[in-house]
């Protein structure tokens, strides 16, 4: 367990990947993308999402796919009977609705029990996942956005965010505090059941 001390003297406790020991990521030795950002919340790329050994060794229970319109809304569900899958659709960029749905989805999964672990991936851009996580940390733990960005950069060394994107996330966090959400999370989910071999559920948000 590592503790990151933020500038506002509050501690954000997360389980980080130890750079000396690394994280198992198959036989190719690629350890750059798969990272634990918050306790029980991991991010990575599509190759990580296919690595069943990595996912099993990390005890992942839920997978969230951040999907973009340029992907023509195609999605590869690699292990439908092993994990619970959720999909969040973004258009050309993230917006307030996507941020809010992302927050309540994470809350629902993480607060359900302390065994749940989430893996979040995208086929094209991990940066948008980090934007969503910045929004989540600021709104959930009430941290200053600049402190959270500094914290993310300690984990993802090459992470870059523009002033424009920072201002957008900041605006979304303020709007979130003023928004009333009737019915909490359960009215956000639209559940579709698919027939594969057995029945499994994918939640589209």
Tens of pLDDT, residue by residue over 21-54, are: 444 333 344 445 788 898 899 999 888 999 999 9
pTM of the model: 0.74
Q: Which helix (H) or strand (E) holds 139?
A: helix 126-141
Give the 3-state secondary structure of residue 135.
helix
Sign of dihedral through CA atoms 52, 57, 61, 66? Answer: negative
What the block records as the tokens of 196 is 């594969």
What the block records as the tokens of 79 is 């292990």
Sign of dihedral through CA atoms 85, 90, 96, 99? Answer: positive
More confident residue, 195 or 189: 189
What is the DSSP pairing of strand 2-5 with strand 11-14? antiparallel
* CB atoms inside a 10 Å sphere around CB 101: 19
Residue 149 clears pLDDT 70, i.e. is over it? yes
Q: How many domains does the chain have?
A: 1
Q: Per-residue confidence at 16, pLDDT binned at 50, 70, 90?
A: very low
Evaluate whether 155 touches 16 at the Cβ level (below 8 Å): yes
> Which single residue is written with the structure tokens 């965010």?
161
- On average, the pLDDT of the chain sits at 75
Phi, psi of 201 (to 5 degrees): -115, 140
Q: Among 22-26, 61-65, 149-153, whose mean pLDDT is lowest?
A: 22-26
Cα 127 off chain centre by: 11
The residue range of the domain holding 123 is 2-204
Q: Per-residue confidence at 5, pLDDT binned at 50, 70, 90?
A: very low
- Residue 158 belongs to a domain with what CATH number? 3.90.190.10
């Amino acid at each position: 367990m590592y503790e990151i001390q933020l500038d506002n003297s509050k501690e954000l406790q997360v389980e980080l990947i130890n750079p000396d020991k690394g994280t198992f990521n198959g036989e190719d030795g690629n350890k750059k993308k798969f990272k634990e950002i918050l306790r029980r919340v991991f991010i990575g790329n599509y190759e990580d999402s296919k690595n069943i050994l990595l996912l099993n060794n990390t005890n992942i229970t839920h997978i969230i796919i951040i999907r973009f319109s340029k992907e023509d809304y195609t999605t590869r569900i690699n292990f439908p009977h092993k994990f619970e899958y959720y999909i969040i659709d973004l258009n050309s960029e993230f917006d307030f609705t996507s941020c809010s749905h992302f927050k309540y989805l994470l809350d629902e999964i993480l607060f359900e029990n302390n065994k749940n672990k989430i893996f979040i991936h995208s086929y094209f851009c991990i940066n948008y996942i980090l934007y969503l996580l910045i929004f989540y940390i600021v709104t959930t733990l009430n941290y200053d956005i600049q402190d959270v960005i500094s914290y993310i950069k300690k984990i993802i060394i090459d992470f870059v965010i523009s002033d424009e994107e920072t201002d957008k996330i900041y605006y979304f966090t303020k709007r979130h505090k003023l928004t009333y959400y009737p019915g909490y999370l359960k009215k956000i989910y639209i559940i579709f059941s698919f027939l594969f071999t057995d029945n499994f559920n994918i939640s589209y948000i």
